[in-house]
Structure formats: structure tokens, C-alpha cells
Amino acid sequence: MGRVGLAVAMGCAAATCSIAAVLVGRRVKSWRRWGRAVGVLREFEEGCATPIGRLRQVVDAMVVEMHAGLASDGGSKLKMLLTFVDRLPDGKEEGIYYAIDLGGANVRVLRVQLGGKRSMILGHEGESNPVPRNLLTNSTVELFDLVAMTLKHFVEKDENGHKLVVEKTKELGFTFSFPVKQKSVSSGVLIKWTKGLFIEDTVGRDVTQCLEEALARRGLNMRVTVLVNDTVGALALGHYYDKDTVAAVIIGAGTNACYVERTDAIIKCQGLLTNSGGMVINMEWGNFWSSHLPRTPYDIALDDESQNRNEQGFEKLISGMYLGDVARRVLYKMALESDVFGDAIGGLSTPFALSTPMMAAMHEDESPDLREVARILEETMQVLVPLKTRKLVVRVCDIVTRRAARLAAAGIVGILKKMGRDGSGGAPTGRTKSKTRRSVVAVEGGLYAGYTLFREYLNEAIREILGEQVSRNVVLRITEDGSGQRLNRDSCRQSQTVRIVAGLETFSNIDCAFVLQVIFLYY
């Protein structure tokens, strides 16, 4: 019995050791797989690093490209387009104005009655209608016929309600949020489509003419008196409320910026004269690029698979259209390198399955067990993960967001530096000490207005780059809903004097995507 018992005991011990060895082996493999996931995260974080030195290099690169774009067409990735807007609204505008916005997936129309300095907005009405997906790639005639019909229905309904004179030609502001080379304040040629639209026969055509031809086909007695980009509208709205507003930036699904430039600095248009000595420049900064921008293999893959490869490089790093997919690509790489997402990783392989709003919701989940992260991953990616993996996901979202916000901040400082408003130059000579001027930048777009952590990272980077003293004189002011909201404000009290007009900051009953509009009138 003793020998048998000993043999049994030894067998049990051997089995226990074998089981323990298997368990330890599995644990080691699990640690290694987790380590690979963490390694992917660390490599991505290093690739996205935006130390203050790099941000200042981006600032300087932006200034260089701005100078190049002002010197000649095609001389820079920045188009630096002339808008022929040389004056901004001051709040004295009055009258009834119409505006229409075509900026992507929706057509928006607006009617505003302005009452001048004291009463400002006396009344407003607006509508927003989706553009059928098939019209986003069909023909110019079909797209602009839809725009004209939308406006016709709105105006006729308005006329029935207000008994307006049908015979009188109505003035119309046209916000067209795509790259356009303007020929005048009311006309411009489409350079290229963005935001998922691609109608080949529109490129190279005057979009105002396309709209007015459609209006004529629908029997509408209206003429376009101003053609503007939504970013220019945001600047007009900002200036309407604060005369220190000198630039505007949109950071939403897409991104762009504009600012007021001295006419003598616009070298590619020598001899350009304006009454104010300045002109609003539409930068089209989404196409900005510099070797100093931190780009990872995930960004390169996204660009390679996009419809506009090697274009809109800055936009692909900072705008809402792309941030969610960058995060998804990193998570997918983690899933391939480890088992942190288990076997169900199919959802992670689908391009744009993770939108930026979803990413933001996960990033800002403050619940102890990250319930919102778990819900979004389960519902959109069909994956169930433990808490430690959810924390990893949040970290990825943070890296993507922080890089985007800090690069956007560098772009804004670049504009201020070009204008001599960053505290680095332009100081008066003599005994008078330099005094940094107050500079207001109107900021529009859900990424900045609605994403708290993005906004905090951007504001923090502005302070880092400029320093506490100078940054106190820089104000980033959110303009509620640019499009139709800031729609109208009119202009021009003197013959041949063009003054831009923007709308207000809160049109609560209008689609929140309404891109800003403006109206110029010649009296």
C-alpha cells in the first residue's frame, strides 16, 4: 500500500505540475498578447506626438505656405482664394433677405428680416432638406434643379404667408461650401468637389450660373448677389457681433479657415484695390501639408484608400470625417496582433464603422466601468471586452483627439502669426512699448463646439504656443451653427461698396447643420 500510495501521490503531483505549467504557459501567452496590444498603442502614441517644438514648426510651415499661396496660383498646397469680400457687417443692416446653402448632404434655405442696430433680427424662417444620395454623383442639372425647387417651395410658402410682391426680383445669398475660384463677389468656378460629392460636369463651371439657370427653369425671379464659402460666413457673423474678429475656422466633418489679409500682401493679384485696404482670403487649409505633421501608417493607409489620395492631408488629420476611422484602424491592428478583442473582430475591419461621434462618446465616458464604451463596441463592432481593454480603447481615442486638436491649434496660431498678431513681431518702433492687439477667431463646427476634450486640448495648445501673456489677447469664440444661421446680414450702402452680411448665432428651429450664409446687395 505504501508504494501504491506513493506512486499515486507522485502521479497527482506530476499532473498538478503539468496543469500548473499549462496555466502558467497560457498566462504567459496572454501577457505576451496583451503586451503586443500595448506595443501597438505605444508605437501609435509616439507617431502622433505633438511636442511644443513640433507645433511651432507647423506654425512656421503654415505661414510659409500662406505666403506662397498669396504669391501665385499653384505655388502652395494652400489655395489662398480671393473672395472679393472687402468689408464685414457692423450690425446696422436692415431689410428682408434670402439665402440658400449647399454644403454637402443637405440643402438649406433661410429668410431673415433685419431691423438695424437696435432691433437686429426681427424675424426668421428656415428649412433643411436632404439631398438624395443618387444626386450627389449624377449631373449638374439634376443637383441644381433640386436646389431651385427647394427654394421655390420655400419662397412660395413665404409669399403666401407674408403677401410679398412676386414680380420684384429678390436678392439671394448663395453659400457654396466647396473650393471655388471666385471671379467676383457673386460668381465663381468650382475647382473640385469634396465631402463625398462628385459630379464631373460641374468642375470648371460657374456655380452661380448653374444655380441661376435652374432658378429660371423653375420660374423663380431671383438673382444671386453674393457667393460665399461657409467659412467666410462664419467670419462675417463673428465680426457682426465683435469687431475684433479677424479670422474664422470651421472644425467639423470637414475643416477650413479664412482671415482678413492686406491687399498689398496679395502678390498674385497686383494692383488689387479695395476701399478697406483688405480682403477676406479663403485658405482652403484642409489641403495644407508639411513634413512636420505627424503621420502614422494608419493615416497613410486611410489616405491610400480614399477617393482623394494625396489631397486634403491636414483635413484627414484633424477633421471629424476621419478621426473615428483612424482610431478604428489602430484598434483593428491591436485585434490582429493580440486577443484583446477576442475572436469577434469583424466589425473592426469595416472602414468607417466607427464614426467620430462614437469615438468622442467613448473618449468622454466617465462611468467607473466605462459602460458607454462597452455599449458602442458591442452595438457597432459586435465585440464584448473586459474593462482593461475598454481603457485601452479610450486611450486610443485620446491620442487621436489630442493630436488633431493640437495641430488645429497650430494652424490657428499660424494665421495669427501671418497677421502679426502672435506677439512675435510688428512691434512699433521708438520708445512706445508694443501692445498685443485683441484677436477674436470665430470657430464653428461640432468637433470644437460639441467635443469638450477636443476643445480643451486645442485651447491648451494655443496657450502653450503663444504663452500665457499673449494668449490672453486671443479669443476663440464659438459661432452657433454657421450656415443658415448666420445667413443674412446684407450690405452695401454706397454704390460699388460691398459689405458682407451674416446671420445670427441662434436659430433654434433650423437644422443645426445649417452652414452660414451671407448676402451682399448693391444699392
Separation CA 239–CA 490 (nearest Å) = 13
- 261 forms bridges with which residues in the sheet? 279
Q: How many CB atoms neighbour CB 434 within 10 A? A: 11
Helix (H) or strand (E) holding 319, with range, is none
Q: How far, CA to CA in Å, does 9 sit from each of 12, 21, 22, 23, 215?
A: 5, 18, 20, 21, 95
pLDDT computed for residue 11 by the predictor: 62
Separation CA 213–CA 47 (nearest Å) = 50
**Half-sphere exposure (Cβ direction) of 377: Cα atoms closer than 13 Å:** 30
**Domain spans of the chain?**
35-82+242-422+438-479, 84-228
Cβ atoms of 220 and 148 within 8 Å: the answer is: yes
* End-to-end C-alpha distance for the chain, whole angstroms: 117
pLDDT computed for residue 506 by the predictor: 32
Of 180, 91, 109, 104, the residue nearest 150 (C-alpha):
109
* Residues of the chain scoring pLDDT < 70: 1-31, 90-93, 116-123, 158-167, 196, 273, 344, 425-435, 480-523
pLDDT computed for residue 497 by the predictor: 25
pLDDT computed for residue 205 by the predictor: 95
The three grid cell numbers given for residue 35, joined into one nine-digit string: 503586451
CATH homologous superfamily, domain 84-228: ATPase, nucleotide binding domain (3.30.420.40)
Burial of 441 (0-12, 13-18, 19+ CB in 10 A): buried
pLDDT computed for residue 131 by the predictor: 85
Separation CA 179–CA 316 (nearest Å) = 16
Give residues with Cβ within 8 angstroms of 39, minimum separation 6: 337
Helix (H) or strand (E) holding 106, with range, is strand 106-115
Q: What is the pTM of this model?
A: 0.82
pLDDT computed for residue 388 by the predictor: 94
**Half-sphere exposure (Cβ direction) of 449: Cα atoms closer than 13 Å:** 19
DSSP 134: G
CATH number, span 35-82+242-422+438-479: 3.40.367.20
Burial of 42 (0-12, 13-18, 19+ CB in 10 A): exposed
SS (H, E, C) 242-294: CCCEEEEEEECCCEEEEEEEEHHHCHHHCCCCCCCCEEEEECCHHHCCCCCCC
Check for a shared fold between 35-82+242-422+438-479 and 84-228: no
pLDDT computed for residue 156 by the predictor: 81
Pairing of strands 474-478, 94-102: unpaired
